[in-house]
Structure 1
Amino acid sequence: MGKNLGKIIFLNAVGLTIFFSWYLPAEHGFWFTLDKSIFYYFNEQLQPESSFTYFVGLTNVRHFDIISLMAMLALYGYYYSKQDHLGKRKMWFIGVTMLFFAVILNQLGHLIPVQRCSPTGFFENIHRVSKMLVFKTKDYSGDSFPGDHGLMLMIYAGFMLRYFGKKAFAVSCIILIIFMLPRIMAGAHWFTDIAVGSLSISLVGLSWVLLTPVSDKCIDFFNKIFPDKAVK
């Protein structure tokens, strides 16, 4: 941990600065102006019968989350296929550790004393993609901060960087952008739900997990309690 202490302090400082720059100013300061501009940019393009509206609607159905999961598993599977037996075994427990801390950080994130609905519930006289299509799609959340889906994808990207390197991280970031953008385009999330909420939690939380022996010790713990025959 000693050699990474400077990095941990820096990442915590960045994460807290991002959060308090949004949390402390009245009406969230410049962040609200940015949020509003991004929301209206996409919302004005949501018109009945338009191809953009169908695209946004389709990418916000629940089943689209399965596609994001498949993309994450595909990248993980690519690195898994290159491992020997011990490497594959370790990857199982990296995955378990990732899920373990994803749950913890998500729960901690919801302890932040912030509750706000998505922009589609905040602004009036706006276009709702769910009202324009015959199938059910998501364009609203009663508690959108922080962005749960964005947080999960950021945690995934963090673990990929820690254990598989910069190329894996770059692809993970592409996956993050592809699968979070539809939520913002539909107005189900504010931009800052992701860029402030998910990011600040990731920077602070993951720095203490991945830049200390915590994640490695957790992986070793799972490796000890599960017999070798249980994981091929």
Structure 2
Amino acid sequence: MTKRITQILCWNLFGILLLSSQYYSYRDGFWFDIDSTIFHFFNHFLDGSHKTFLYLIAVTNHRIFDVISFVAMALLYYLYFRRENKDEKQKMIALGLMMLMMAVLIKQWGRFIPIAHESPTLYFEPFESINRISKLTHFGTKDASGDSFPGDHGMMLMIFAAFMWRYFGLKAFIQSAIIVIVFSAPRIIAGAHWFTDVYVGSLAITSIVLSWFLLTPASDYLVHCLLRLIPKRFFKTS
């Protein structure tokens, strides 16, 4: 128990330090320098001379592409689901519902963080010429946000990765972490999010909240509660 408490406190300290560093440097300093460098590096390649890359980023930032990221997570989850026996499959159904519940709750909790800023496209646009994929492609795609912190899309992906680590081990975490990187990258490349919106904001909030849930009996308890509440007919074909 002492080991678990130490782990929880370490994850909380990690998250608090990340948020604090972001709060004091998101307009100037360490994180802003990193954010600015990453944004300008990728924005250079969105000038229209690299058509394939431009349209790739446009397509992967369309709202429909969010469904593909969900499908990728579902497929990975299914790979582990199909290996289990009937009882474990039932637990995994309840676990999947719990992940969705936690994603909604954590997203709402993130709104209370006292950090708010516009996306890099909107921040830099008044001061310099930047490339906006929505204007260059005339494609309904996301390349800006009035309040991009924290990265909601990245947070959902990270919540999935955390659950996979907790219940299926390191290999499952590495596989899901690849999904996090692949599907969060288009938002950053397009300038709809700063790098730190995802890898500071989303990571910090996920670390703080989920540590109290996944490193305590709370998650297992909720899974068992959901198992009792879900109608048994949903398990007949499991």
User: By the TM > 0.5 criterion, same fold?
Assistant: yes
Give yes or no for the alignment of 1:100 onto 2:95.
no
1:68 corresponds to which residue? 69
Instruction: Determine if contact 1:15/1:203 at 8 Å carries over to the other structure.
Output: yes
Give yes or no for the alignment of 1:9 onto 2:9.
yes
The whole-number CA distance in structure 2 between the counterparts of 1:190 and 1:147 is: 9
1:212 corresponds to which residue? 216
The whole-number CA distance in structure 1 between the counterparts of 2:26 and 2:222 is: 41
The whole-number CA distance in structure 2 between the counterparts of 1:119 and 1:26 is: 11
TM-score when scaled to structure 2?
0.94
* Residues 1:26 and 1:197: Cα distance change in structure 2 (over 3 Å): closer
The whole-number CA distance in structure 2 between the counterparts of 1:137 and 1:162 is: 34
Deviation of the 1:3 alpha carbon: 3.4
Deviation of the 1:115 alpha carbon: 1.7
Deviation of the 1:84 alpha carbon: 1.1
Instruction: Determine if contact 1:60/1:182 at 8 Å carries over to the other structure.
Output: yes
Report which stretch shifted further, 219-228 or 11-20: 219-228
Superposed CA offset, 1:17-55 (max 9, x none): 111011124735210010000000000111225221111
Q: How does 1:166-205 map to 2 (within 5 A)?
A: 166-205=170-209
Report which stretch shifted further, 31-40 or 216-225: 216-225
**Structure 2 residue matching 1:182: 3-state secondary structure:** helix
Extract unaligned runs of 5+ from structure 2. Answer: none
The whole-number CA distance in structure 2 between the counterparts of 1:58 and 1:100 is: 29
TM-score when scaled to structure 1?
0.96
Instruction: Determine if contact 1:22/1:29 at 8 Å carries over to the other structure.
Output: no
The whole-number CA distance in structure 2 between the counterparts of 1:202 and 1:33 is: 24
Please, which of 140, 146, 160 is the counterpart of residue 164 of structure 2?
160
The whole-number CA distance in structure 2 between the counterparts of 1:27 and 1:145 is: 13
2:145 corresponds to which residue? 141
The whole-number CA distance in structure 1 between the counterparts of 2:26 and 2:144 is: 24
Superposed CA offset, 1:175-198 (max 9, x none): 000000000000000001011110
Report which stretch shifted further, 156-165 or 47-56: 47-56
**Structure 2 residue matching 1:27: 3-state secondary structure:** coil
Report which stretch shifted further, 49-58 or 119-128: 49-58
Number of matched residues?
A: 232
The whole-number CA distance in structure 2 between the counterparts of 1:109 and 1:231 is: 34
Q: CA RMSD in A?
A: 1.3
Instruction: Determine if contact 1:72/1:172 at 8 Å carries over to the other structure.
Output: yes
1:20 corresponds to which residue? 20
Letter in structure 2 aligned against 1:110: R
The whole-number CA distance in structure 2 between the counterparts of 1:77 and 1:230 is: 16
Deviation of the 1:216 alpha carbon: 0.6
Superposed CA offset, 1:75-108 (max 9, x none): 0000110111111100000011111111111100
